[in-house]
């Protein structure tokens, strides 16, 4: 005979308004890190927005590069990896890859990558992988002007480039008085 | 400068072998080390050059263990480029080395105080990049001042806002709230959109933790958003991104609004307009063919939909959102399809849009079949799970099973769990459930975790309507030449319990069942073999005719001398048991497993563990139809009803959590448990199913007060409530108070029945003069013949005794017999009485008949004396499935497609008594609007009609 039995599932009370602690969604997701690496799996730039040990970082980079490099061209630009969401896009031989927390806006992260590429392109003039290898410090400075702690600092291309150009001016002022002798360490 | 380093060497750095690179690097490192250690003090330029080289080497993936001090020295340089490289090195390489941090902090402090915006920017970036607690301690008080100071430049404000955000994330306790917070909110009105963007990020994080303090940000955010979405694409100049006005800021504002409930009506109207505008724009033709345009536009759209779902209050917007996502489901951009599937998952949780989401089921199923990217398919699985309800469960489960055959290995286990949960949750027909789980094992046996097959056994044991079917189905499944070991486990367990139900068929005779199982034995792992040995000993009890065959197997050297001690012990003990124990003892020891107590499905617990609680919570919230679940009816669960345990994984079946024993009974060892009286565990604290607690507690409280009153009449009166629980079921706890628990297990066949009553002493003291008596009134004695055996007058503390009542129904009867129990506990006489749930409907045999037959008989029984009707208010939620289950539980057949009105239920059966058999027809008509039922019973005997109507009316 049939015995109706007790429910096996617990139902949670509906969300209460004005009590964010009960809202399971994190409204302030953060970018965890950003990586640039080549098709050959060479890391070209890394930006960490949360603290992580060196060993752990290397492990994550290795693992993530493998996952992303294995993906085929027409696939979706988002994937779940560990407890994070990875947004990536390939530009020529370079992969730009951001690890964000689940609730973050994936499409906008994709455009954040694009905006960064545009900035690099504008600064270097049709940027290529070698520009980023040999002028890695510039790539970092531009990124720093654009992002801070994983949050976008200024979305205006003009403001970011203006800041970089000013810094370059300072650099030229700094270095102009150097003589060749100084450069060779003979002064 | 680095270029110089690369071309300066003789070998090229890039493109050469790993060894050559390492050699080259080591040479360079040695060179730099000697420069740093050299007698000559390096000038700033050289220091910068070498620090930069070290950084380059580090970024190539090599370890750097020196140069930190030189980098710190660069910080105090007045030259911008030297400072910049110093800060870069620190940001990339320093985590929190305490000695250096003090020096770094000093340099930062100087730069912050320099009032040079470029230097301040560098310092703020360094704080944000390192973000350590030491830095928060040093600067968390200072940065808010910089942020709100009137003379701070815009670019520094932006950096300060984000720097503070970073510190707040790592050490919220160190960031003091204060006057500055109200001024930060007003940055939402700032002229400079870059400042607004940075400030919005900060405010959102702060508001989520301190909603009260930042309440005023809501109206400011709405008006800012409104200005952006209505602006022409050129208005915002450089903040327009591919014709989309300020997408980053829009998304951040929409995110900020998700920290709060829907705003006041005035503001709300404006916000609704904004959201509508965003939805409208999605329908407009694109202003650019570039993917950047559509990405930015849709990023804002998805965030707006998130806000609409968060507010969950505007049905119109929710449905529009759903339609928009529906369009995206078929978009050619994979990214959009992925996001639409993901976003719809949350939309499915809103009652306003759940139905709208369901209309896309075919598209989603198609996605499962055709998407080429596993991450998209995974989203489709999630969405199917979220949109599943009773109406589409069969289709969704079938599609998931289909997909499972080819699914990626990485997501198989999760799909298995989901299928198992849906199949159980929405099972209308438990044969379907059994089929589904067996299919799961067949298709993806390796991914079926223990929880899943434990669960199917729990359910089969707890539901006697499916046991015969389960036995038949596993028997058939086991015929396959290669079947998964999990199937052998399920098969072994189920046939051991219910093999007798199919033994009548010569194709599945006892010997065939045994040979079939034993043919798998040698291929199985040790735990499975141990389980099969238990099945064999159960067979000895079920099928005495194959006892010698089984004994031969147990006796063989491969068992008795098995190298595995567990197998050997089982073989020895089972063999011995089968040889010396009498049939009665065997029957008692090897009796059918008692029902398992209900608790949260262990499968669900596992899925939660796998996916993180929030994901599953969301999905659970969706199912707002809990009350309509077949499994949802609140019934107290039987705790102890039998005296046998099988030395099988039964203990694990109780779930994941450990079950605390409340008394000091020794934990039975796996071999000993067979003979240990498991009733010593009877007071195990078993959490009841959620809805049932009140019900259960009140009845036991009630009864316990009666015990002291020593007035059986009262107890009996109230105990009438108790027997209603047993009208539609046979096993369970009849009564419980602080001293005593009475459990029941009974079976009925035609006019005969047998009831096992279990008395559990919950105390640690003996009960003396324990005398249970079953009393029938004079009237009842003539129609019900009850035979009981006396029980031992002493019941030890923690022990349990059993009493068998043999029942024969002579003729139809009204009342229920009374069970009176007297005993001495601690010197006082205890006396209590409860009604025994032996009711007329227990002697029901279901009868199937066609619509034509039914109505013919219905008309024959049309005299007023034959019909009894009752109209009553529903006491429980009016759910079709529960009602069906109850009618079947009552004992009659449930006749489908007989009544012209599909909402009605009709049933037919025969009451068997020794003297006569009484045909019964019943019809139940629910009225949902009025929450009423009309129940009609027609039998050839008025008293029977009346009694059955009385009994059944109480159930709805």
Q: Which of A10, A17, A140 sits opposite B600 (nearest CB)?
A: A10
Long-range contacts of B151-155 (CB under 8 A, 24+ apart): B153/B117, B154/B192, B154/B194, B154/B195, B155/A154, B155/A159, B155/A163, B155/B117, B155/B121, B155/B194
Q: Is residue B287 part of a domain?
A: no
Same domain, B759 and B887: no
Same domain, B472 and B557: yes
The neighbouring-strand residues paired with B831 are: B822
Q: What is the pLDDT of residues B3-56, one digit of tens each?
A: 333 333 333 445 557 788 888 888 989 988 888 887 777 788 888 888 988 988
Query: What chain B residue is nearest to A186 in terms of C-alpha separation?
Result: B43
Closest CA to B255 of B187, B310, B214: B310
Same domain, B428 and B516: yes
Q: Is residue B318 part of a domain?
A: yes
Residue B10: Cβ-neighbour burial (10 angstroms; 0-12, 13-18, 19+)? exposed
Distance from CA of A142 to the nearest CA of B (A): 12
Residue pair B374/B412 in contact by the 8 Å Cβ criterion? no
The mean pLDDT of B623-636, rounded to a whole number, is 36
Whether residues A111 and B292 touch (CB distance < 8 A) is answered with yes
Portion of chain B with pLDDT greater than 70, in percent? 85
Q: Let me know how long chain A is.
A: 187
Whether residues A154 and B131 touch (CB distance < 8 A) is answered with no
The mean pLDDT of B445-465, rounded to a whole number, is 86
Same domain, B754 and B863: no
Q: What is the pLDDT of residues B392-409, one digit of tens each?
A: 999 999 999 999 988 888
Question: Maximum distance among all alpha carbons in chain A?
Answer: 102
- Lowest-confidence segment of A17-26, A140-149, B118-127, B226-235 by average pLDDT: A17-26
Q: Report the CATH number that the domain containing residue B946 is assigned in CATH.
A: 3.30.310.10
Residue B715 has pLDDT above 50, yes or no: no
Q: Is residue B662 part of a domain?
A: no
Q: Is residue B739 part of a domain?
A: yes
The mean pLDDT of A84-93, rounded to a whole number, is 93
Residues of B in contact with A53 (CB under 8 A): 95
Q: What is the CA radius of gyration of chain B?
A: 38
State the virtual CA torsion across B616, B617, B619, B625 in degrees, nearest 10.
Answer: 140
Q: Report the CATH number that the domain containing residue B362 is assigned in CATH.
A: 1.25.10
Q: Which of B621, B724, B892 to mutate to test the interface with A (most CBs of A within 10 A)?
A: B621
Q: Report the CATH number that the domain containing residue B745 is assigned in CATH.
A: 2.60.40.1230
Same domain, B462 and B563: yes
State the virtual CA torsion across B273, B278, B282, B284 in degrees, nearest 10.
Answer: 60
Same domain, B408 and B425: yes
Residue A15 has pLDDT above 60, yes or no: no
Task: Specify the pairing of strand A84-91 against strand A78-81.
Answer: antiparallel
State which H helix or E strand residue B575 sits in.
helix B565-580
pTM greater than 0.95: no
- Lowest-confidence segment of A80-94, B13-27, B130-144, B902-916 by average pLDDT: B13-27
Same domain, B499 and B427: yes
Same domain, B394 and B524: yes
Same domain, B826 and B901: no
ipTM of this complex: 0.84
Residue B704 has pLDDT above 80, yes or no: no
Distance from CA of A177 to the nearest CA of B (A): 12
Mind listing the domains of chain A with CATH numbers?
A: 31-184 (3.30.450.60)
- Side-chain-side CA neighbours of B80 within 13 Å: the count stands at 20
Residue pair B320/B279 in contact by the 8 Å Cβ criterion? yes
Residues of B in contact with A171 (CB under 8 A): 80-81
Residue B855 has pLDDT above 80, yes or no: yes
Q: Which has more confidence, B662 or B228? A: B228
pLDDT at residue number B341 = 94
Q: What is the pLDDT of residues B331-351, one digit of tens each?
A: 989 999 999 999 999 888 888
- Domain end position, chosen among B797, B817, B838: B838
Q: Which of B117, B313, B343, B614 to mutate to test the interface with A (most CBs of A within 10 A)?
A: B614
Q: Is residue B666 part of a domain?
A: no
The neighbouring-strand residues paired with B787 are: B806
Q: Is residue B563 part of a domain?
A: yes
Residue B164 has pLDDT above 80, yes or no: yes
Q: Which domain holds residue B741?
A: 719-838
pLDDT at residue number B863 = 78
Q: Is residue B276 part of a domain?
A: no
Whether residues A3 and B303 touch (CB distance < 8 A) is answered with no
Q: Which has more confidence, B532 or A149? A: B532
pLDDT band at A24; cut points 50, 70, 90: very low
SS3 track for B538-598: HHHHHCHHHHHHHHHHHHCHHHHCCCCHHHHHHHHHHHHHHHHCCHHHHHHHCCCCCCCCC
Q: What is the pLDDT of residues A31-62, one digit of tens each?
A: 999 999 999 998 889 898 887 778 888 899 99
Contact of B302 with chain A, judged by CB distance below 8 Å, is answered with yes
Closest CA to A9 of B788, B426, B680: B426
pLDDT at residue number B16 = 57
Contact of B600 with chain A, judged by CB distance below 8 Å, is answered with yes
Q: Is residue B618 part of a domain?
A: no
The mean pLDDT of B571-593, rounded to a whole number, is 86
pLDDT at residue number B327 = 92
pLDDT at residue number A175 = 55
pLDDT at residue number B686 = 33
- As given in the structure block, the two tokens for residue B146 are 């910089």
pLDDT at residue number A29 = 81
Residue B944 has pLDDT above 90, yes or no: no
The mean pLDDT of B633-645, rounded to a whole number, is 36
Same domain, B755 and B900: no
Same domain, B394 and B470: yes
pLDDT at residue number B96 = 58
- Structurally, chain B folds into a number of domains equal to 5
pLDDT at residue number B268 = 92
């Amino acid at each position: 005979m049939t015995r109706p039995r007790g429910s096996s599932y617990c139902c949670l009370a509906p969300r209460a308004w004005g009590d964010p602690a009960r809202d399971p969604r994190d409204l302030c997701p953060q970018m965890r890190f950003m990586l640039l690496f080549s098709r050959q799996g060479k890391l070209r730039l890394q930006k960490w927005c949360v603290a992580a040990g060196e060993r752990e970082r290397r492990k994550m980079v290795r693992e993530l590069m493998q996952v992303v490099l294995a993906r085929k061209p027409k696939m979706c630009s988002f994937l779940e990896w560990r407890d994070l969401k990875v947004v990536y896009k390939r530009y020529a031989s370079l992969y730009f890859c951001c690890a964000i927390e689940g609730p973050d806006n994936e499409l906008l992260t994709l455009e954040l990558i694009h905006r960064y590429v545009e900035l690099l392109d504008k600064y270097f003039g049709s940027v290529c992988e070698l520009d980023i290898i040999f002028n890695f410090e510039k790539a970092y400075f531009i990124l720093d002007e654009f992002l801070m702690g994983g949050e976008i600092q200024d979305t205006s291309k003009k403001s970011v480039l203006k800041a970089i150009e000013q810094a370059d001016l300072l650099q030229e002022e700094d270095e102009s008085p150097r003589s060749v002798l100084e450069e060779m360490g003979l002064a | 400068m680095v270029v110089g380093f690369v071309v300066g060497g003789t070998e090229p750095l890039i493109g050469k072998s790993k060894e050559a690179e390492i050699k080259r690097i080591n040479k360079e490192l040695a060179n730099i080390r000697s420069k740093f250690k050299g007698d000559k003090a390096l000038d700033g330029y050289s220091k910068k050059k070498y620090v930069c080289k070290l950084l380059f080497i580090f970024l190539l993936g090599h370890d750097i263990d020196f140069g930190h001090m030189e980098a710190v020295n660069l910080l105090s340089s007045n030259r911008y480029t030297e400072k910049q490289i110093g800060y870069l090195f620190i940001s990339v390489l320093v985590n929190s080395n305490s000695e250096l941090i003090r020096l770094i902090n000093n340099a930062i402090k100087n730069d912050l105080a320099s009032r040079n915006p470029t230097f301040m920017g560098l310092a703020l970036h360094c704080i944000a990049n390192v973000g350590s607690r030491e830095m928060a301690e040093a600067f968390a008080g200072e940065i808010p001042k910089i942020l709100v100071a009137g003379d701070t430049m815009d670019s520094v404000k932006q950096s300060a806002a984000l720097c503070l955000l970073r510190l707040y994330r790592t050490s919220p306790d160190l960031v003091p709230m204060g006057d500055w917070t109200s001024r930060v909110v007003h940055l939402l009105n700032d002229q400079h959109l870059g400042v607004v963007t940075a400030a919005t990020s900060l405010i959102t994080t702060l508001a989520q933790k301190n909603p009260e303090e930042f309440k005023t940000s809501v109206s400011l955010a709405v008006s800012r958003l409104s200005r952006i979405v209505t602006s022409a694409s050129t208005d915002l100049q450089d903040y327009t991104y591919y014709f989309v006005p300020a997408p980053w800021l829009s998304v951040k504002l929409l995110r900020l609004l998700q920290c709060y409930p829907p705003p006041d009506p005035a503001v709300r109207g404006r916000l609704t307009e904004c959201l509508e505008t965003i939805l409208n724009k999605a329908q407009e033709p694109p202003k650019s063919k570039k993917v950047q345009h559509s990405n930015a536009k849709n990023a804002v759209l998805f965030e707006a939909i998130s806000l609409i779902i968060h507010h969950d209050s505007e049905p119109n917007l929710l449905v529009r959102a759903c339609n928009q996502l529906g369009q995206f489901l078929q978009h050619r951009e994979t990214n959009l399809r992925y996001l639409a599937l993901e976003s719809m998952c949350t939309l499915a949780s809103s009652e306003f849009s759940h139905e709208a989401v369901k209309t896309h089921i075919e598209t989603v199923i198609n996605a499962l079949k055709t998407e080429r990217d596993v991450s998209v398919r995974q989203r489709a699985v999630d969405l199917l799970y979220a949109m599943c309800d009773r109406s589409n469960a069969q289709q969704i489960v079938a599609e998931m099973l289909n997909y499972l055959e080819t699914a990626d290995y990485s997501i198989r286990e999760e799909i298995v769990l989901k299928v198992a949960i849906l199949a159980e949750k929405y099972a209308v027909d438990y044969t379907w459930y059994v089929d589904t789980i067996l299919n799961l094992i067949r298709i993806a046996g390796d991914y079926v975790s223990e929880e899943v097959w434990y669960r199917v056994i729990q359910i089969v044991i707890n539901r006697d309507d499916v046991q015969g079917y389960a036995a038949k189905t596993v028997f058939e499944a086991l015929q396959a030449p290669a079947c998964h070991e999990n199937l052998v486990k399920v098969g072994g367990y189920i046939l051991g319990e219910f093999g007798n139900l199919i033994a009548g068929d010569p194709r599945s005779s006892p010997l065939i069942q045994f040979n079939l199982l034993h043919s798998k034995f040698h291929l199985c792992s040790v735990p499975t073999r141990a389980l099969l040995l238990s099945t064999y000993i159960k067979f000895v009890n079920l099928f005495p005719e194959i006892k010698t065959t089984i004994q031969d197997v147990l006796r063989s050297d491969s068992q008795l001398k098995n190298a595995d001690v567990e197998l050997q012990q089982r073989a020895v003990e089972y063999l011995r048991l089968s040889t010396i124990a009498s049939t009665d003892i065997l029957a008692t020891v090897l009796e059918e497993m008692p029902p398992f107590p209900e608790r949260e499905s262990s499968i669900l617990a596992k899925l939660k563990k796998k996916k993180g609680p929030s994901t599953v919570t969301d999905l659970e919230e969706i199912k707002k139809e809990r009350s309509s679940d077949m499994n949802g009816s609140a019934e107290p669960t039987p705790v102890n009803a039998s005296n046998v345990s099988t030395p099988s994984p039964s203990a694990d079946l109780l779930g994941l959590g450990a079950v605390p024993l409340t008394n000091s009974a020794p934990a039975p060892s796996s071999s000993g448990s067979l003979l240990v009286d498991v009733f010593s565990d009877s007071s195990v604290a078993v959490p009841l199913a959620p809805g049932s607690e009140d019900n259960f507690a009140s009845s036991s409280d009630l009864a316990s007060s009666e015990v002291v009153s020593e007035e059986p009449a009262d107890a009996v009166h109230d105990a009438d409530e108790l027997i209603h629980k047993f009208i539609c079921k046979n096993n369970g706890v009849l009564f419980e108070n602080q001293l005593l628990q009475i459990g029941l297990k009974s079976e009925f066949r035609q006019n005969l029945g047998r009831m096992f009553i279990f008395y559990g002493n919950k105390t640690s003291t003996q009960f003396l003069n324990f005398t249970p008596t079953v009393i029938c009134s004079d009237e009842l004695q003539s129609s019900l013949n009850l035979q009981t055996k006396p029980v031992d007058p002493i019941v030890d503390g923690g022990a349990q005794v059993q009493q068998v009542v043999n029942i024969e129904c002579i003729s139809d009867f009204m009342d229920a017999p009374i069970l009176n129990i007297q005993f001495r506990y601690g010197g006082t006489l205890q006396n209590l009485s409860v009604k025994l749930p032996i009711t007329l409907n227990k002697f029901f045999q279901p009868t199937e008949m066609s619509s034509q037959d039914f109505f013919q008989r219905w008309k024959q029984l049309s005299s007023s004396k034959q019909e009894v009707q009752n109209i009553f208010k529903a006491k429980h939620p009016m759910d079709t499935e529960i009602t069906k289950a109850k009618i079947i539980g009552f004992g009659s057949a449930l006749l489908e497609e007989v009544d012209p009105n599909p909402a009605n239920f009709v049933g037919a059966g025969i009451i068997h008594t020794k003297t006569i058999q009484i045909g019964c027809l019943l019809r139940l008509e629910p009225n949902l609007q009025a929450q009423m039922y009309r129940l009609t019973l027609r039998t050839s005997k008025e008293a029977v009609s009346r009694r059955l109507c009385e009994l059944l009316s109480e159930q709805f």
